[in-house]
Structure 1
Amino acid sequence: MSAMPLHLMTHPEPLVVARLDGGSEPVWDWTPGPFASLTRTPNETSVVCLAELVPDGVLTEGPFRGVEVAGPLAFEAVGVMAEILAPLVSAGISVLAMSTFDTDWVLVPEQHITTASEAWRKAGLIVTPTVLTGRGDR
C-alpha cells in the first residue's frame, strides 16, 4: 500500500443484506443511509441497506456495521483490501467486502465491530467513528 496508514470510518447505522429472487426488484425504498447497494445475478438479487427499511418476511443476514475507507482511492491502488482483511482473518471475523467507484467498504457483523476496530488499530490502521446525523444524511 502506501506509507500513510489507511483511515477506516465506522458507521453506526445497522445494515443488512437482503436476498430476493433473481430478477426481483425491492418493493421498498432501500436507498437511504450511509451505504446501499443492489447486486443482481441470474439466481438472486442482493440488497444492502439500512436494517429498518426491510419489510418483514424478507430473508436477511445481519445486522452489520458499515466501515468505509477514507477516499477517494486510486483505481490502481494495490493491497487495500488485503490490508483491511488480514487483521480480521487473524481475529476470526468474517466480513462482506464491497467497492464503489471512489472507495472500499466492509460490512462487519455488529457483534464484532469492537474486536475488528481493535485488530485494525493494532495493525496500524486509523479507525474513527462517523457521526449519525439522520437517516440518509452523511
Structure 2
Amino acid sequence: MKLHIDKTNYTIAKFPPTFQIPTWFQSEETRFKSITYTNEECSIIAPTDILDPVQAESTEPDWFLLKIEGILDFSLTGILSKIATPLAEKEISIFAVSTYNTDYILMKQSDLTTAIQTLTNAGHQIME
C-alpha cells in the first residue's frame, strides 16, 4: 500500500462542544486539518503552527501524518488493520481519521523512524 508521509508537526486539541469554527482554522492553508463535533466535544487536528490552543480544554502536540494514497472505495475492508497491526506489534500508538476519500493516520513524532521502518518492513511504500 502506498502511504504519503507528512512530517509537519500536528496538534490534536479538545474544545467544548459549542466551540465555533475559529478563523485560524478557516485560513487558506492547504495542509491537512480536521474538525469533528460530538455532543461531548469539538476535536481539532491542525498543524501546530496555526493552531491557537488558548481556548482548548486540552492539547496533544507532536504528531506526524500518513495519508493512504488513492481514493478508497467504501466496500474495501481491512485497510486500517494492515497498517495498524504492524504498528501495534511495535507498540506504536495511532490516531486514525477518515474522510470521504481516504484514511489518515497520525503518530507521535518520537515514533517517526520506527514507524517508517515497521511499515516498510510490512510491505508498505512510504512516499514523501
TM over 0.5, shorter chain: yes
Identity of aligned residues (%): 24
**Structure 1 position 55, deviation (Å):** 2.0
Point out the more displaced range, 109-118 or 19-28: 19-28
- Equivalent residue, structure 1, for 2:104: 105
Aligned to 2:88: 89
Question: By how many angstroms is 1:27 displaced?
Answer: 3.1
The 2-side partners of 1:85 and 1:111 are apart by 17
Letter in 2 for 1:81: L
Q: CA deviation at 1:35?
A: 1.1
Partner residue, 1:35: 32
Which portions of structure 1, spanning 4 or more consecutive aligned residues, are displaced by more than 4 angstroms?
Answer: none
Show structure 2 runs of 5+ residues with no match: none
Residue 24 of structure 2 corresponds to residue 25 of structure 1: no
More divergent stretch after superposition (23-32 vs 42-51): 23-32
Give yes or no for contact 1:19–1:45 (8 Å, CA) kept in 2.
yes
Gap runs ≥5 in structure 1: 1-5, 130-138
Measured in 1, the distance between the counterparts of 2:104 and 2:66 equals: 5
1:56 deviation in Å? 4.6
Hey, what's the Cα distance between the residues in 1 that align with 2:23 and 2:104? 23
User: Aligned letter for 1:9?
Assistant: H
The CA distance in 1 between the partners of 2:79 and 2:96, in whole Å, is 11
**1:77 aligned onto 2:72:** no
Secondary structure of the residue aligned to 2:8 is strand
Find the aligned partners of 1:106 and 1:39 in 2 and give their Cα distance: 15
Matched residues in 2 for 1:53 and 1:63: separation? 14
Secondary structure of 1:52 counterpart: coil
Distance (Å, rounded) in 2 between the aligned partners of 1:101 and 1:67: 16
The aligned amino acid for 1:74 is D
**How far apart in 2 are the matches of 1:15 and 1:34?**
10
1:55 aligns with 2:59: no
The alignment of Structure 1 onto Structure 2 pairs a total of residues equal to 124
SS at match of 2:49: helix
Deviation at 1:29, TM superposition (A): 1.6
When the two chains are superposed, the root-mean-square deviation of aligned CA atoms in Å is 1.3
Distance 1:28 1:18, change over 3 A: farther
TM-score (ref. length: structure 1): 0.84
